[in-house]
Amino acid sequence: MTIRWFTDGDRAERARIARERVERDELLLTFARWLSDRAGHDGPVTVPDLTPEAEAHLVRLLRDGTAPPAA
């Protein structure tokens, strides 16, 4: 059995990664809600598959507040 020792730095890094993932998920849900609002109907909404580059760009825009406002 291998014992893994975690330092305070390891714990801080894991916490930072977890916070970034939660923030990313919240921002992507905001984008999905925006698409839903723009669809103008109560049916299903198709959210396009995003490349990692497009997703990173979208998250950056949403984080900076420069994404288009919900209409």
Candidates 62, 61, 34, 60; CA nearest to 47 is 34
Question: Tens of pLDDT along 24-51?
Answer: 888 888 888 888 888 877 778 777 788 8
Q: pLDDT tier at 56 (50, 70, 90 boundaries)?
A: confident
Q: Are 27 and 37 in contact (CB under 8 A)?
A: no
Look at residue 66 and tell me whether its pLDDT is greater than 70.
Answer: no
Mean pLDDT value of segment 62-70:
67
Asked whether residue 50 is domain-assigned, the answer is yes
Give the pLDDT mean for 58-66.
Answer: 80
2 within a domain of the structure (yes/no): no
Task: Determine, yes or no, domain membership for 51.
Answer: yes
Structural domain of 40? 8-64
Domain count, the chain: 1
> Does residue 46 form part of some domain?
yes
Residue 17, in any domain of the structure: yes
